[in-house]
Amino acid sequence: MATTPSPPRPTVEVVADFVTEQLEAHRKAWREKASQKDARSPPLVLGVQGPQGSGKSYLASGLPALLASQNPPLRTASLSLDDLYLPHSGLSAVAQADPSNKLLSGRGQAGTHDLALGLECLRALKAGGTEPVELPVFEKSLHGGEGDRLPREQWVKVDNPGEVDVVVFEGWMNGFRPLPSPPADHSLSALYSLARNDRQQARTALGIDYDEPFLLEHDLAHLEKVQGNLAAYEELWGMIDAFVQIKPERMGSVWEWRLEQEHNMKAKNGGIGMTDEQVKHFIARYMPGYEVFLRGIDDPSSTWTGKGLRVVIGKKREVKAVERF
């Protein structure tokens, strides 16, 4: 009798098992070094990275319910890198300061986030206690899709943060790092030169499945500006205890996913948001980041080295492979 292969487990279930395992190890390590053996450990900060439309936001929203259903139930708090964008006025100032740099013409790349606010939020959640912690909210549909931070009274309040077990910190560029300096083979200038002179090798070096690398749409100096901004994110990444990367089998899927994501948002809010053409220009600002800075996630100096999970997904976001790093 023929057997039907079991369908792949949903990403959220795979990640929930990983989180439970990492939380146990996190608490054990805390107990071993804590002066008060019965002291409650700080929450496990789980970094989550995945491209737009890959399901990382869905994961961040579905994971809390799954963890809460465990015995004993686990309490989570969620923070998105997207909610740490500068207010609209700040984003405009960044764009005006470097008007020819399309990478900084709107939210997205390194240099458009409020890093001090992110550190403040994660430190407060790690510190615990009973005083509520307020987490910012960035509404992307405002200003014709350019977005803006909502007033503080509309932020998410986390009551009794000392009872939080897991903090889910998700973002499209979480873990991205600057590339090594020249003359390293994988320096930014070396990859840029390779993309211009040898497309076939560039596809392999950049991990792409399309012919024209997006980084060539930008001047090297503009990419170097973003790379310089990335150095300031290291302190924020240092707050992460364990890491989950959602990696598409094909990088080209990012286009289709992001367009689908925008259509879904507009269907819910009455049509407010970007046109398809605006989405294409918008995602083109992000793609060079995936092409050159994504590899920073595997940096051995990371706080999550040996505590990382990579979930490779297909076009329909089904799990294709699971790897540890």
| Best CA proximity match to 26, nearest among 1, 49, 43 | 43
Highest mean pLDDT among 33-42, 81-90, 201-210: 81-90
pLDDT over 90 for what percent of the chain? 78
pLDDT of 7: 62
Side-chain half-sphere exposure of 294, counting CA atoms within 13 A: 22
pLDDT of 281: 79
Angle between helices 188-197 and 220-230 (to 10 degrees): 150
Q: Are 322 and 245 in contact (CB under 8 A)?
A: no
pLDDT of 210: 87
pLDDT of 279: 83
Average confidence score pLDDT of the chain: 93
What is the tens place of the pLDDT at every residue in 73-120?
A: 999 999 999 999 999 999 999 999 999 999 999 999 999 999 999 999
Residue 296 reports pLDDT greater than 80:
yes
Distant-in-sequence, close-in-space partners of 259: CB < 8 Å, separation ≥ 6: 53, 276, 279
Average of per-residue pLDDT across 193-200: 94
What is the tens place of the pLDDT at every residue in 267-280?
A: 999 998 888 888 87
What is the tens place of the pLDDT at every residue in 1-36?
A: 444 455 678 999 999 999 999 999 999 999 888 766
What is the tens place of the pLDDT at every residue in 146-182?
A: 999 999 999 999 999 999 999 999 999 999 999 998 8
pLDDT of 33: 84
What is the tens place of the pLDDT at every residue in 130-145?
A: 999 999 999 998 998 8
pLDDT of 1: 44
Instruction: Please tell me the CATH superfamily of domain 11-23+43-315, with its number.
Output: P-loop containing nucleotide triphosphate hydrolases (3.40.50.300)
Residue 236 reports pLDDT greater than 50:
yes
SS3 label, residue 34: coil
Domain ranges of the chain: 11-23+43-315
Q: Residue 37: which pLDDT band, with cuts at 50, 70 and 90?
A: low
Q: Residue 38: which pLDDT band, with cuts at 50, 70 and 90?
A: low
Report d(CA 285, CA 163) in Å as an integer. Answer: 39
pLDDT of 8: 76
